[in-house]
A and B are shown apart, each in its own frame.
Chain A
Amino acid sequence: MDKNKVSIHDVVSEKDSEKREQKYNKYVKDVTPTHNYVLNTLKAFFVGGIICTIGQGFTNLYMQMGLDKETAGLYQIITLVLLSVVLTGLNIYSKLAKFGGAGTVVPITGFANSVAAAAIEFKTEGQVFGIGCKIFTICGPVILYGIFSSWVLGLVYYFLKMAGIV
């Protein structure tokens, strides 16, 4: 038998409650089924890739329409966010996410989904205390720490520039 495996006998016979908790958690981990890691990664890679390819398609389209690369990129982001919000409202994005996992969470569409979903959910609690206060319940950390880390990087850049390194 696997030496690392904890049997329920070890759990029940353990008198020390802290050790029992550790043993029980280990035992639970052994008996709990998990998603197939490889399959899930492949699906995420696929779905995420498709979303990014669609985005690139929009960028190319906008560039063909005469926009410069940077502006076309901005328009592309706006388009993807719009699409994601509409799909969220139509109850499609959550199904997509169930299949694609991180492939739908990482691109900007996942961010838009988390905002739109919260807005729909908390609408019943009012415009101010419902939507207003709770719209960022899921993506709030992304906004806060996104801004914070860019501030830190800005500071680093500033000092490196002062020192004449960059």
Chain B
Amino acid sequence: MKNNKIVGKQSISFEHPPVITGFSSVAGKKEGEGPLGSFFDVVEEDPFFGGDNWEDAESRMQKMAAELAIKKAKLKPVDVRYLIAGDLLGQLIATSFGIMDLDIPLFGVYGACSTMGESISIGSMIVDGGYAKNVVALTSSHNASAEKQFRFPLEYGNQRPLAATWTVTGSGAVVISQNTSNNSENSEKSSGGNEKKEPVIEIKGITTGKITDYGVKDSMNMGACMAPAAADVIYQNLQDFKLSPAYYDKIITGDLGYVGQRILIDLLLEKGYDISVNHMDCGIEIYDKETQDTHAGGSGCGCSAITLNGYIMDKLLKREWKRVLFVPTGALLSTVSFNEGNSVPGIAHGVMIEGR
């Protein structure tokens, strides 16, 4: 039997593309002050989000994002079959303590800053496979908890290199549902088009990334660590689906920053694809380089998550963009492996999101 869902080497084309019915973005103060500030659902001034410590703050942020997305999808937590969630902290503590009260079965995932892409990918497979009507893909990062775990205490005085990125404080949740309404492509064509239909955002397919290591050992230059992984996934997506970059209105990476963007475009050009026109990087968009002192850009799971749920979804709903390839990127950095002399490998996950 031929299976049309499996495409090429690393991709899936969904038979019944799941739809995004709810999405939320909870951002910190600095992100709220950035160029995308007005797109976020919630901008919280209190860095502790009402909690006792940074980890608690991140947990509360995740809970806020999950509840908001479920509410926006006009659902209740009991309607959600699975949560697919993760964060940057050891043992995923932001997730485990954040979503406990929601009482929803959980798959905890770790993809470093690519978690949004990974969780949407898995969620979409669950929904398209018929194992759930609604699932929530969720992730977060908090600048202070990430600094504490991966770098230095906040008040420690040091100079950040220009290639360093700034971990985004933010959490995003996406409700992925079966497309149960009659708004499939055929009915849209037959309806004559008198009324303007509500836009539908579908997840057409995914391309799952491999761990890619080009041997960069500089944990302060994560763009360079992740760019080869992003290039690999984008290349594979275009190959698997036999597309040209122009198919997409935007090819959006998670947090490569200025250094990583340059490398990505170089790498893909070398492999025969020019994405310089339609490439966008969430890490570059989220902060104002000149006034916010963030150096190479933003990073963290929250970076791509809130940019997707704030800015990108807005563009899709307004039909300014129709097709995007969303590629959150993750640097698989651990302070242990780093101190033991290992490099920082990268990973990326591609999600094809289309609006109509």
- Do the beta carbons of A24 and B163 come within 8 Å of each other? no
- B: interface residue count bin: 20 to 34
Q: Does B131 contact A (CB under 8 A)?
A: no
Chain A 74-111: CB-based contact to B (< 8 A → 1; otherwise 0) = 00000000000000110101111110010011000010
Residues A116 and B214 in contact, CB atoms below 8 Å apart: no
Q: Is A160 part of the contact surface with B, judged by Cβ < 8 Å?
A: no
Asked if A122 is at the interface of the complex by the 8 Å CB criterion, the answer is yes
Q: Mark A118-138, 1 if CB is under 8 A from B, else 0.
A: 101110100000000000011
Assuming the A-B contacts A21-B215, A24-B228, A138-B152, are A34 and B157 also in contact, with contact meaning beta carbons closer than 8 angstroms in the complex?
no
CA distance A101 to B295 in the complex (A): 16
Residues of B within 8 A of A105 (CB): 157-158
Query: Taking CB as reference atom, which chain A residue is nearest B155?
Result: A117
A97 in contact with B266 (CB, 8 Å): no
Q: Contacting A28 at CB < 8 Å: which of B153, B157, B224? A: B224
- On chain A, the residues within 8 Å of B153 by CB distance are 117-118, 120-122, 137-138
Task: Across the A-B interface, give the 5 residue pairs with the lowest CB-CB distance, nearest first.
Answer: A97-B157, A21-B215, A121-B153, A124-B53, A117-B155
Q: Considering the chains assembled together, what is the distance between the CA atoms of A22 and B215 in angstroms?
A: 8
CB within 8 Å of A: which B145-159 residues: 148, 152-159
State in angstroms the CA–CA spacing of A40 and B161 once bound together. 12
Given the complex, which residues of B lie within 8 Å of A24, measured CB to CB?
214-216, 228
Task: Kindly list chain B residues whose C-beta atoms are within 8 Å of the C-beta of A94.
Answer: 154-158
The reply to whether B224 and A12 contact each other, CB–CB distance below 8 Å, is no
Asked if residues B271 and A12 are in contact (CB atoms below 8 Å), the reply is: yes
Cβ-closest chain A residue relative to B217: A25
Tell yes or no: B263 within 8 A of A by CB: yes
Residues of A within 8 Å of B54, CB to CB, are: 124
Question: Considering residues B52, B214, B269, which has the most beta carbons from chain A within 10 angstroms of its beta carbon?
Answer: B214
Q: B221 and A28: CB pair below 8 A?
A: yes
Contacts of A9 in B (CB 8 A): 270
Interface residues of B in 205-234 (CB under 8 A from A): 213-218, 221, 224, 228
Residues of A within 8 A of B152 (CB): 117, 138
Which positions 241-264 of chain B face chain A at CB distance < 8 Å? 259, 262-263
Contact of A35 among B162, B215, B267, B271 (CB under 8 A): B162
Residue among A18, A91, A94, A122 with max Cβ neighbours from chain B (10 Å) = A94
- Indicate whether A59 reaches chain B with its CB closer than 8 angstroms: no
Task: Give the complex CA separation of A113 and B152 in angstroms.
Answer: 12
Q: What residue of chain B has the Cβ atom nearest to residue A123's Cβ?
A: B53
- Of chain A, the residue at the smallest CB distance from B159 is A101
The contact of A96 among B157, B161, B221, B266, by CB within 8 Å, is B157
B263 in complex: contacting residue of A28, A93, A95, CB < 8 Å: A28
Q: Smallest distance from the beta carbon of A123 to chain B beta carbons, Å? A: 9
Given A8-B270, A12-B271, A28-B224, A35 contacting B157 (CB threshold 8 A): no
Given contacts A8-B270, A124-B52, contact A33 B214 (CB under 8 A): no
Contact (Cβ within 8 A) A25 B155: no
A163 nearest CB across to chain B (Å): 41
Can you name 26 A-B pairs with beta carbons within 8 Å? Answer: A8-B263, A11-B270, A12-B271, A21-B213, A21-B214, A21-B215, A24-B214, A28-B263, A32-B162, A33-B162, A34-B161, A34-B162, A35-B159, A88-B155, A89-B155, A93-B155, A94-B157, A101-B159, A105-B157, A114-B156, A117-B152, A117-B156, A121-B153, A121-B154, A122-B153, A124-B54
With A24-B215, A34-B161: A138-B156 Cβ-Cβ less than 8 Å: yes
Give B290 Cβ to nearest chain A Cβ, in Å: 14
A2 to chain B, nearest CB (A): 16
Separation in Å of the B263 CB from the closest CB of chain A?
Answer: 6
Assuming A21-B215, A32-B221, what are 9 further A-B pairs, CB within 8 angstroms? Answer: A12-B271, A25-B214, A33-B163, A33-B259, A113-B157, A117-B152, A117-B157, A120-B153, A120-B154
| Minimum Cβ distance to chain B for residue A5 (Å) | 13
Q: A1 an interface residue at 8 Å Cβ cutoff?
A: no
A35 CA to B295 CA, complexed, in Å: 11
